[in-house]
Amino acid sequence: MDVFPTTATPAAVGPGAGIPLTQVAPYLHEVPTTFRADMRVPARVIADEALLQEMRRDHSLLQLVNVTTLPGILGAALGMPDMHEGYGFPVGGVAATVLPDGVISPGGIGFDINCGVRLLASELTRGQVAEHLEVIVHELSRSVPTGFGRGGRLHLSPEEMDQLLNEGVPFLVGAFGLGSVEDLAYLESGGRLPGASSGAVSVRARQRGQDQLGTLGSGNHFLEVQVVDEVFDARAAKAFGLFEGQVTVLIHTGSRGLGHQVCTDAVRVMDNAMQKYGIQVPDRQLACTPFSSKEGASYFAGMCAAANFAFCNRQVITQRARDVFARVLAGNGLPSRLRVVYDVAHNTAKLETHRGRKVCVHRKGATRAFGPSEEEVPAAYREVGQPVFIPGTMGTASFVLVGQDRAREVSFSSTCHGAGRSLSRSAAKRRVAGHELRHAMEKQGIVVRCASNAELAEEAPMAYKDVERVVDAVHQVGIAGKVARLRPLGVLKG
């Protein structure tokens, strides 16, 4: 069985096959408001023809059209090239609603609030690390718990949990010494969303997150030791401190059970409250209320708190990785420092100003992509723009991109967040044997640590779209530019 097959794109047959799309610019397609009477704005998709064919085979295009019906939506509902079917919103969907009375929808953020990606850069080359790689990955697997329900080693008192939810990574650095003040400058929003309130997080959500800090979880979460395989933009790569042959670490995880429960709680509340506000949506999974409402304000405060938890989760894992590199490499006379290049969030709602309006930008499986003119870009990157990380699939590649100013006018300063699924997890397991995938990766020289072959099969490369094609689409449309490609050397999978 070929577990790394060439992606084939047959003609679309599925729920999206009959939805009309007109190309309005290279890589940019539109479903006009004439398609359905309840559409308030067009639906726009960034993709090439092959990616569009994949989208037509599931409900993602229909879900994007449904998003256009949300009260207060501005401009268009946007689909990124990694778009696929999700809960309410498609994964890879972006929508901005005008404040104060435009809605906020938990389905437009997702259950894994602030699932995000952090890149750490070493000072080492692949050759320097090669003989130590097996030990490094093994020690990472011992230091970072993976899998459903696995707990971490950092236990907080109720008072400390409140502070962490309200203050994010700055509290974790100050109270526990997990990282440095320097790290904060290279985290989106400084590792803290200021709208957070621990009081908006239910007892059940706290219980589900109590022992989860410093854990990967399951599904598509991972920690990879990688190498910079190719540089496309030398200027941006230099600004980010990246060079060909360099060893890096990519962390992909989120808010674990705490964020899932925050979303679950809010969907239930908003589903019951919509009638009170006279809101009707074509899909109950789009449950929403005005941002300014009691329900909207409470959800936003809880969402921000869950996002802070996720930032802190990646911060704890960062320190575990630093400890491993120090333990394995320092004794061999090698530099072990791991520097935070950046930490980007997806699955968030952010308050921003676009087109002269203050809006709530829903990024569901989408990443912020600020260009160099944005003040929030770290000073060291101001001349090039914000780093963006697009993880691919095990055995293929991930990409470093840089946000472009054009993204502000095209996509509310947003871009894609990954390769995007093309097969469900159950379908992937029917098509791929986990032990064969493990063997194929090991033949490529990739060290693999995953407790279950079944979970490994769920994330097989054939279960995802072609990440090179996805990245090329956002590069060509001008919302995020290619900087470097990263190849996996060692994989620790959740």
Locate 228 and state its tokens.
């910079």
Sign of CA dihedral 457, 55, 393, 319: negative
Q: How far is CA 45 from the centre of its chain?
A: 18
In 3D space, the residue among 353, 370, 420, 397 whose CA is nearest the CA of residue 485 turns out to be 397
Compute the distance between CA of residue 240 and CA of residue 235 in angstroms, rounded to an integer.
9
* Residues acting as catalytic residues: 417
The end-to-end CA distance of the chain, in Å, is: 24
Q: Find the DSSP H helices in 133-190.
A: 133-143, 158-167, 169-176, 181-184
Q: What is the dihedral of CA 93, 367, 313, 400, to 10 degrees?
A: 140
Q: What is the dihedral of CA 221, 258, 186, 364, to 10 degrees?
A: 70
Compute the distance between CA of residue 236 and CA of residue 466 in angstroms, rounded to an integer.
24
In 3D space, the residue among 351, 387, 420, 422 whose CA is nearest the CA of residue 92 turns out to be 420
What residue type is assigned to position 399 of the chain? Answer: F
DSSP states of 288-317 as a string? -EETTSHHHHHHHHHHHHHHHHHHHHHHHH
Q: Are strands 77-84 and 43-46 parallel, antiparallel or unpaired?
A: parallel
Compute the distance between CA of residue 154 and CA of residue 152 in angstroms, rounded to an integer.
6
C-alpha distance from residue 25 to each of 44, 46, 369, 471 (Å): 11, 10, 20, 17
